[in-house]
Amino acid sequence: MIILATGANAAYMPKITAYLNSIILNSSFDRNMLIFVGNGQLPELNIECYRLRQEAIGAPAQNACVQHGDWLNADGLQLEESDVVVFTDGDMFVQRGMSDKERGALEKLGDGDVMVGANQFEGQTLLQEAHNLGFTGKPWHGMQDEKVWRMPVFNTGCIAANVATWRNLYEQYRIEWQEFAGCFQHYAKQQWLLSYLINKGSYKIKKMQFMFHLHNHGQALPSGASWSVGRNALTYMGETVLLRHFTNNGANYPI
């Protein structure tokens, strides 16, 4: 089963409404779900909604983001280990249904496979991302090897893996989080640690294609990307992108 999931707390719900509406309108995933973070009243939605209680959060983030795997602890969430979960940030928009090729690529993800894409640009390193995040200089064992700083950083606002792989990644993250958390000032430190673990672990990295997920976090869109006025959609090589990411920031798209 192929599942699209995202998360939000009560404060973030107004910002995620457009994404949720686009899921209802356009998604062709087998299941669509929101992980609601906190002990307040569950929102009434036309997609599956599961509560992640505060006391069930194993690696609490300052912005309540649970992309690192805390979402697995949500009440009543039932998954098969072979299910593939595409977990995303909330500043997304589903522009169309999945193609057969995209579904096939997700269905092929096995144990240890992680599908993820570049962050600001192809080849961006953990060292470059450290400058963006406000490195505090706090020592952490994972930074002792010089090779680590040359490893690529990923945009972890969209990760696809099967549930068994997600559980493994989350357990590794939870173990490291307490000592790591003080290394950076910016809340996106989650992305640095996830990228580190994906690089250092025994994971097989599968490149996420621009047709599947396209974003413009702090960098110009890649060549071939443009905004289609007629379709009112972000496109790549003339075709509508599945997941449009970070589009409510006033960005000027090429037309």
Quick check: 228 and 198 in contact, CB under 8 A? no
> Any residues with CB less than 8 A from the CB of 229 and at least 6 apart, and which?
255
Do strands 113-118 and 225-228 pair parallel, antiparallel, or not at all (unpaired)? unpaired
Instruction: List phi, psi (to 5°) of 37.
Output: -90, 120
The string of DSSP codes covering 71-104 is: GGG-TT----TT-EEEEE-SSEEE-SPPPHHHHH
DSSP state of 218: S
Strand partners, 29: none
User: For the segment 103-158, what is each residue's pLDDT rounded down to a tens digit?
Assistant: 999 999 999 999 999 888 888 999 999 998 999 999 999 999 999 999 999 999 99
Query: 126-133 vs 189-200: helix axis angle to the nearest 10?
Result: 160
- Read off the tokens for 47: 């997609």
Query: Per-residue pLDDT tens for 80-103?
Result: 999 999 999 999 999 999 999 999
181 vs 114 pLDDT, higher one: 114
Mean pLDDT across 187-205? 94
Mean pLDDT of 174-188: 92
Q: Which of 95, 111, 200 is nearest to 154 (CA)?
A: 200
Q: Structural domain boundaries of the chain? A: 2-209
Amino acid symbol at 101:
K
Whether 219 shows a pLDDT value over 70: the answer reads no
CATH architecture for residues 2-209: Alpha-Beta Complex (3.90)
